[in-house]
Structure 1
Amino acid sequence: MCTVDRIKNLAKEHHISVYELEEQLGFGKNTIYQWTKRTPSVERVKKVADYFDVSLDYLMGRSANEKINTNKIDLAETQQGILSFEGKVIPDNELELIRKMLRNTQSDTSEDH
């Protein structure tokens, strides 16, 4: 999905038109639609990202996650084989063991309360 399509979807979710968005951000008419033919400035894309509270990576199609990276990683949602510890990749079997241990710890603490 291209940047313009993502912006159109976000605008729809927020119940505004792309034209209204352009007006609110101080862009000229059809500015965003022109981005299908030419590359927008980073500052303009940043304005759109800030307006919708999404990441630049999401708008530019580099990430499917629209939320801004907060440096938090949910181990339960992380794909296997991409985590490391002290520079070494955690093997899949050890990663699954860690997940199981954490789940057991969480269930133990919830039973105490």
Structure 2
Amino acid sequence: MAFCDRLKNLRDEKGLSQVELAKILNISRQSVGNYENGLRFPNDEKLIIKIADYFNVSIDYLFGKTNIRNFNIIIKEDEETYCKKNSALENLFYELDKLSPETIKKITYTIKLFNKKNTD
């Protein structure tokens, strides 16, 4: 999915009009319309970051490089453990992104069973 489609879908999910999003991003409504119609692309790095931050998605997601919205997972552990887990989770998400939704559902179910067994 292209940037223009992602931006429109994200705006629609929030229930925002183009005018409202333009005010939030401090740009014109016409710019939002041009981005969503694929006529233009934001060339300002700060604006791209602002869009990603507002919608809580990664830039890779905005650009259509991944279907994973955000890799930022908060893990409340010491910094070394956090870095190791964060790296491992990013690798896992990268691999999961290649799978079908049905396969991901099966893996999620298996993980839930595994966690339940470990807590019993």
Q: Are 1:4 and 1:33, in contact at CA under 8 Å, matched by a contact in 2?
A: no
Judge conservation of contact 1:54–1:67 (CA < 8 Å) in 2: yes
The equivalent of 1:28 in structure 2 is: 28
1:62 aligned onto 2:94: no
Amino acid at match of 1:18: Q
Q: Percent identity?
A: 29
Rate the CA distance shift 1:110–1:6 in 2: closer, same or farther, 3 A.
same
Tell me which residue corresponds to 2:4. 4
Q: Structure 1 or 2: larger helix share?
A: 2
Aligned pairs, number: 91
Contact 1:46 1:56 in 2 (8 A): yes
Secondary structure, in 3 states, of the residue corresponding to 2:29? Answer: coil
Which of the residues 49, 54, 60 maps onto 2:52?
49
Separation in 2 of the partners of 1:44 and 1:76?
29
Structure 2 CA distance for aligned equivalents of residues 12 and 31 of structure 1: 16
TM-score by length of 2: 0.58
Where does residue 41 of structure 2 map in the other structure?
Answer: 39
TM (normalized to structure 1)? Answer: 0.61
Max Rg structure? 1
AA paired with 2:89?
A: I
Q: Structure 2: give runs of 5+ residues left out of the alignment.
A: 74-85, 97-109
